[in-house]
Amino acid sequence: EVQLVESGGGLVQPGGSLRLSCAASGFTFSSYEMNWVRQAPGKGLEWVSYISSSGSTIYYADSVKGRFTISRDNAKNSLYLQMNSLRAEDTAVYYCARAGGGWYNFDYWGQGTLVTVSS
C-alpha cells in the first residue's frame, strides 16, 4: 500500500524557518517524481514545488522561489521542503504528492502537515 506521511509542521514566527519531511512507503520511491502542494485555510490548492526522481530537475512556484528548497533522499525514501524567511501568507496545510505515470497527475497524497506563521 502506497503511503506518504508528512511531518515537521508547526507554529513559527515570521522570518523563521521550518523543514518538512515526507516519508514514503509501499512503492519504489526513487522511480517517482514528487511534489509539494499547499492549501491555505479555507482556500484552494496551490502547487509549491516539484522534484524529479533523481533530484536533478527542480521547479518552484514564484511565491516561494528563493525561500523554499525541495530535496529528496532516495536511500531514505524521503522528500523534504526547507522553508526559510517564512511569511504569514505561507500559513497552510502542506501536502506531499506523488506524480504518477506519464500524465504527471498527482495519484497519491499524504495527509498533510499544518504550518502556521504567526507572531
Partner 1 sequence: DIQMTQSPSSLSASVGDRVTITCRASQSITIYLNWYQQKPGKAPKLLIYAASSLQSGVPSRFSGSGSGTDFTLTISSLQPEDFATYYCQQSYSSPRTFGQGTKVEIK
Does 7 sit near partner 1 (CB under 8 A)? no
Q: What CA–CA distances, in Å, run from 25 to 44, 45, 77, 117?
A: 27, 24, 7, 30
Q: Distance between CA atoms of 14 and 34, rounded to whole angstroms?
A: 27
Element (H, E) at 14: none
Does 35 sit near partner 1 (CB under 8 A)? yes
Does 111 sit near partner 1 (CB under 8 A)? yes
- Residues that bind partner 1 (rule: CB under 8 A) add up to a total of 21
Site for partner 1 (CB under 8 A): which residue of 31, 44, 75, 119? 44
Does 68 sit near partner 1 (CB under 8 A)? no
Does 109 sit near partner 1 (CB under 8 A)? yes
Does 47 sit near partner 1 (CB under 8 A)? yes
- Ramachandran category for residue 101: left, alpha or beta (phi over 0 → left; psi -120 to 50 → alpha): left
Grid coordinates representing 98 are 506523488
Site for partner 1 (CB under 8 A): which residue of 69, 112, 114, 116? 112
Report the residue number, 35 or 117, with the smaller CB distance to partner 1: 35
